[in-house]
Structure formats: C-alpha cells, structure tokens
C-alpha cells in the first residue's frame, strides 16, 4: 500500500462548473476511498500559471464548487509555475513525513516525462508505482490514448536545465558557506579547503545543508549535490567541470590522474593545473597533500581500515614516484574527523591500533576501546618520512570532532545511515 499518492493535473485545465469530467471525480473518489486510511499524504499537483512549454499551452486552473470542494479537502494541493518546482516541493513534503512508497496517478501521455523528472529529483530510497489518469483532455480526446515512451537527449537536457535553474534559485540553509583552510598550503600555488555543513540547499536534517555526496541509500539526489558543488566552486574559485572525488573502498588504492581510472580508490594524485581533486569525510579523515616545489598535490580518504592499510603514505609515495616529489617538501593537512571521544572499535580491531602505538587507543581493556585515527595517521606519516612540522592536525577548527559538533559537521557515527558528507579538496592554480 502506497504511503503517498500524487495525482498529476499539471497540464489539465480544470473547471468543475463547466467541464470537469466525471471520470476525474471518480478518480479522486477512488483514491480517497482506497488510500485515505493508510496513505499519510494525498497530493494533487497542478501549475500556478499559464506558459508555453514543448509547443503546448499549459493552462491549469483548479476551481472548486459543490462537486469538488468537499473531496479536495482530503488532498494537499501543490501549485507551482514549473514541473521542477512542483516535484521538489512535493519531495520536501514526502521527506518531512519520512515516506518512501509513492503512487503517481498521471495522464498516460505524460508518464514518461514524469518518470524523467522523478529520476532526476529522487533516489533509489523511494519506490514508485504509476497508474494512468483516465481523463479526456478538452478538445483533444485522442491525446489521452497516446503514450510517449521516449525522452530524447534534447528533452532530457531541457528537464535538467529546468531543475538546475530552479535549484539555483533556492536560498542557502543553516547560514553562509564556510571553508576551513590551512596556512601550511601556499594560497598563491594551490586552491584548497575543507567544507562544513552550512551554506547549501540540502534540507533533510541529517544532510542539511551542504551535503556533497549522493548515493542510492540517501534521499539527496545528484542534482541537489551538484548545486551544492556549484556553489562551492564559485566560493573557492575552481572549475566545477574539472572536479573529481575519490571512489571510496576503505582501501589504500591511489589513482594517478592521467592513468586509467580504477573502479575504486581512496586517494588521488595529480600535477595537472586547474583540476580539483577531493576526498570525502563524515568521521573518516579527508586528507590533503601539497608539494609547492614540484607543484603536485593529492587527497586521501582515511577511515580506520584505510588508516591501518597506510592510505596516507600510499598517496605520498605516489607523488614521489610520479612527480619526483621529496618527502621534506610535502605538506599534509588532516581535515575534520571523528575524535577518540566518540569512535570505538571492537577490541579485536583495536589491537592493530594498539600495536601501532598504545597512545592511539584509550580503555584498551574494554570490549570496545576508543580509537584515535588522527594520531595513528600522524604516526604513520612521520614514520614514512614526512616532517612533523609539515603535518597539520591540531588546527582549532580542523581538529574538531565531527560527531561532537552537529552545528558544523556531518557524522556517520552520530547520524546513522542517512548521513551527509563534507570534503577536503585541492587544485593547482592555472
């Protein structure tokens, strides 16, 4: 049984006094009868004005009189000037109720278009089923029977442009976009930073507002994450079209940019100017590497597994092997991560950190000791030859525990599976 029911009247001109067909009334009655008891959200989507689109005149009015007024009280009406605005507004209402099973009742000829918009604005968290809306269009009785099964590349781009334009119009949430930087990395050679959770458009509480990663298990679609990234690029001054994230696997694989891209990797190294590389973090450490002498840089995503596997030194070694970097020239900055105050592991896993150095573990004799992945990372970098003064992990803001500071950072430990993601990024100025 659907948790939410959406009736699409976006392109219909409805006037219950003159020409609202009985089939529409039957549809609304049927929805109310079959779904009102269990569905938590009944919604009618229509447009708020008239405008030309795809060669059609959209003229949608929802005027109520005796036949519709009582029935419509059971439905929430969303009236917006565009499909993107309407569906995004409805998505917000669905997410407020934490619903995921949705029935869409839509005119047959618009089903493919509706699916194309849904594909852009929703993720696999949601389950959709579709039902034909049996309503004859005024003056066009044949149109209802024609189902358009193909969205052309040009039409898809129009849909994406409409969504992008709408998302760009949305205000930033939770304050202004804030970036954390390190004085160790020279600003005349590199652009770099670590993001916080403010200044984006993501509205779901655990993702709000500057989430920078989308997956099938989260409610933030790629379109929203891309808009957040566009805003980041504008604030930091890099080219969003040349932006690359690690494809995390909690390993020590490094992609040398310019070589064939692996299926997964937790580090990237490059000496290409104008290209921005980024490591994800939401308790795991986003690490940024820079060599101002050879003008090369790298990033790494270091969770507890990647830390033990040596992903940080694997990135350093890649820069040395590929670009002739010297250990004494490489600076390393550790971004915000979970602290030993909040991160525990089963004792069997904690033993490896204790073997690395006892200072990496607190309450080692407990069933779930507390682990300091930042201290472990510094120890491994220093053992690998990075100068202690070239490692920054104690900056007041960068050293904050992500789990302890919900106003500043996302955290998997704190927020569970639907967590947001911040990043550390770097590029070589052109």
How many residues are there in the chain?
A: 430
pLDDT at 396: 76
Q: Profile the chain (430 residues) by mean pLDDT over runs of 10 residues.
A: 90 50 72 81 76 41 57 85 95 97 92 96 97 64 58 96 98 96 97 98 97 95 98 98 97 97 97 98 97 98 98 98 98 97 97 98 97 98 98 85 97 94 98
Determine the longest span between alpha carbons in the chain, in angstroms.
82
The answer to whether residues 267 and 246 touch, using CB atoms and an 8 Å cutoff, is yes
pTM above 0.85, yes or no: yes
**CA pair distance 430, 424, nearest whole angstrom:** 19
**CA pair distance 37, 200, nearest whole angstrom:** 37
The answer to whether residues 334 and 392 touch, using CB atoms and an 8 Å cutoff, is yes
Torsion sign, CA atoms 401, 398, 335, 225: positive
- Which of 270, 174, 286 shows the shortest CA–CA distance to 231? 174
CA 161 vs CA 83, 117, 331: distances in Å? 12, 11, 41
Q: How buried is 216 (Cβ within 10 angstroms: 0-12 exposed, 13-18 middle, 19+ buried)? A: exposed
Token code pair at residue 218? 């989260």
pLDDT at 17: 40
The answer to whether residues 280 and 286 touch, using CB atoms and an 8 Å cutoff, is yes
pLDDT at 123: 97
Token code pair at residue 167? 């998302």
Q: Angle CA(171)–CA(201)–CA(427) in degrees, nearest 5? A: 110
pLDDT at 358: 98
pLDDT at 49: 54
SS (H, E, C) 126-180: CEEEEEECCCCECCECCHHHCCCCCCCHHHHHHHHHHHHHHHHCCCCCCCCCCEE
């Amino acid at each position: 049984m659907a948790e939410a029911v959406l009736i699409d009247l976006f392109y219909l001109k409805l006037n219950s006094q003159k020409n609202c067909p009985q089939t529409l009334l039957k549809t609304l009655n049927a929805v109310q009868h079959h779904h009102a008891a269990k569905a938590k959200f009944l919604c009618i989507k229509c447009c708020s004005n008239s405008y030309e689109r795809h060669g059609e005149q959209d003229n949608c009015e929802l005027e109520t009189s005796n036949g519709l007024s009582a029935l419509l009280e059971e439905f929430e009406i969303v009236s917006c000037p565009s499909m993107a605005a309407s569906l995004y507004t409805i998505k917000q209402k669905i997410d407020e109720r934490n619903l995921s099973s949705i029935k869409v009742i839509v005119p047959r000829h618009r089903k493919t278009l509706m699916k194309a918009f849904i594909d852009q604005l929703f993720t696999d968290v949601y389950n959709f089923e579709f039902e034909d809306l049996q309503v004859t269009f005024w003056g066009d009785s044949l149109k209802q029977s024609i189902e358009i099964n193909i969205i052309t590349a040009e039409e898809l781009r129009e849909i994406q442009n409409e969504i992008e334009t709408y998302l760009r119009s949305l205000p930033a949430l939770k304050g202004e976009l804030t970036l954390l930087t390190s004085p160790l990395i020279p600003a005349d050679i590199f652009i770099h930073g670590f993001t916080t959770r403010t200044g984006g458009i993501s509205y779901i509480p655990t993702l709000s507002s500057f989430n920078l990663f989308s997956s099938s298990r989260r409610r933030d679609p790629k379109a929203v994450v891309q808009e957040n990234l566009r805003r980041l690029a504008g604030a930091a001054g890099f080219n969003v079209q040349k932006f690359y994230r690690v494809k995390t696997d909690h390993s020590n694989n490094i992609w040398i940019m310019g070589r064939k891209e692996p299926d997964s990797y937790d580090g990237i190294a490059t000496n290409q100017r104008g290209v921005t590389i980024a490591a994800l973090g939401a308790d795991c450490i986003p690490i940024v590497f820079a060599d101002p002498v050879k003008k090369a840089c790298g990033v790494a995503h270091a969770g507890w597994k990647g830390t033990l596997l040596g992903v940080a030194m694997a990135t350093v070694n890649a820069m040395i092997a590929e670009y002739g970097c010297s250990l004494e020239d490489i600076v390393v900055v550790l971004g915000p991560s979970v602290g030993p105050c909040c991160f525990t592991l089963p004792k069997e896993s904690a033993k490896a950190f204790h073997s690395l150095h006892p200072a990496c573990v607190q309450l080692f004799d407990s069933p779930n000791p507390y682990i300091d992945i930042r201290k472990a990372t510094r120890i491994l970098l220093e053992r690998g030859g990075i100068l202690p003064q070239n490692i920054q992990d104690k900056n007041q803001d960068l050293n904050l525990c992500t789990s302890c500071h919900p106003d500043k950072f996302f955290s998997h430990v704190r927020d569970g599976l639907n967590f947001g993601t911040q990043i550390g990024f770097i590029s070589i100025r052109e």
